[in-house]
């Protein structure tokens, strides 16, 4: 089923027979055109997170990985880990203020004024940052998310 979808994206590239484990990777642009991801504000980040080279080129294994993590039945801890990586735009294992700002702008499509963005990001940072280094480490993030009432995708 998933293989069918993968194949659909680039019929001329993806072989139907995977027993030889060919190393075919699809570029980012193709993946984000899928209907499930098209409307997602974080689609680029999602694909980048699951790709091995960090540039968004997914092999079939990565593809399956991605969808299994996005699945409803994936365990909460798994989702937390991936959420953290998705929101970490500059890939430094911390959510710094710029990461938060980027997240917010993507979520609101730039409808908030810069002061409002600033206020929201400072408040969010203040709320979740436990070790006071003005960045959110994974543990801060996880601590905050685990208390959220409806953290399910």
Partner 1 sequence: NTDSEEESMSEGEMERLKEEVEEKKKVIAIMRNKPWRMKRRLVHLKECQEFVDKFEGALGKGKGRKFYAYKVMMTKVLMGLPYGSIPRKTVPRAEQPTAQDYSVLMDFNVEDTVYRYTIRAQFITCDHFFLSQGYCKYSVLFYGYYNNQRTIGLLKFRLPLSYLMVGVGTFGYSLMVVIRTMAKNADVGGGDGDDGEFTFAWKMFTSWDYLIGNAETADNKYASITTSFKESIVDEQENQKDENIHLRRFLRVLANFMIICCLGGSGYLIFFVVKRSQEFANRDDLSWYEKNELELIMSLLGLVCPPLFETIAELEEYHPRIALKWQLGRIFALFLGNLYTFLFALFDEVNNKLEEEVSIRNASIWAQKEYYANFTLYNNDTDTTPPPMDPSDVIRGPCWETAVGIEFVKLTVSDIQVTYLTILIGDFARAVIVRFLNYCWCWDLEATYPSYGEFDISGNVLGLVFNQGMIWMGAFYAPGLVGINVLRLLSSMYYQCWAVMATNVPHERVFKASKSNNFYMGLLLLILFLSLLPVVYTIMTLPPSFDCGPFSGKAKMFDVIMETIDLDLPAFLGTLMGYAANPGLIIPAVLLMVLAIYYLNSVSEAYQHANAELKKKMQMARDEEKNRRNNTESTDQVMKDLEDLLPNRSLLPPAPPPETGGKSTKVRPGTAGKDVNLQKDVSLSSPNPNARGAVTRPPGPRGPGPLPGNGQQGPGGGPGRGRGRGQPPPRR
- Region 24-83 residues binding partner 1, contact defined as CB under 8 A: 35-36, 38-42, 51-55, 61-62, 64-65, 67-68, 70-75, 77-78, 81-83
- 7: which 2 tokens? 């194949």
State the minimum distance, in angstroms, from the CB of residue 106 to partner 1.
9
Q: Which of 94, 92, 99, 103 lies closest to 42, judged by CA?
A: 103
| Least separation in angstroms between CB 16 and partner 1 | 19
Restricting to residues 95-134, name those near partner 1 by CB under 8 A.
Answer: 100, 103-104, 107-109, 111-112, 116, 119-120, 123-124, 127-128, 130-132
Q: Which is nearer to partner 1, 13 or 124 (CB)?
A: 124
Distances (CA, A) of 46 to 62, 82, 92, 118, 126: 11, 8, 16, 25, 26
Residue with tokens 């570029």: 27
């Amino acid at each position: 089923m998933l293989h069918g979808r993968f194949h659909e994206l680039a019929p001329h590239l993806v072989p139907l027979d995977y027993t030889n484990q060919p190393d075919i990777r699809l570029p980012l642009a193709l993946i984000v055109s899928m209907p499930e991801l098209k409307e997602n504000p974080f689609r680029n980040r999602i694909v980048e997170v699951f790709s091995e080279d960090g540039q968004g080129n997914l092999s079939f294994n990565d593809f399956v990985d991605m969808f299994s993590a996005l699945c409803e039945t994936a365990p909460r801890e798994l989702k937390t880990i991936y959420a953290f990586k998705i929101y970490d735009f500059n890939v430094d294992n911390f959510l710094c203020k710029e990461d938060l700002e980027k997240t917010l702008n993507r979520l609101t499509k730039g409808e908030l004024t810069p002061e409002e963005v600033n206020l929201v990001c400072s408040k969010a940072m203040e709320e979740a940052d436990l070790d006071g280094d003005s960045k959110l480490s994974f543990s801060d993030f996880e601590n905050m998310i685990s208390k959220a009432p409806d953290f399910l995708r």
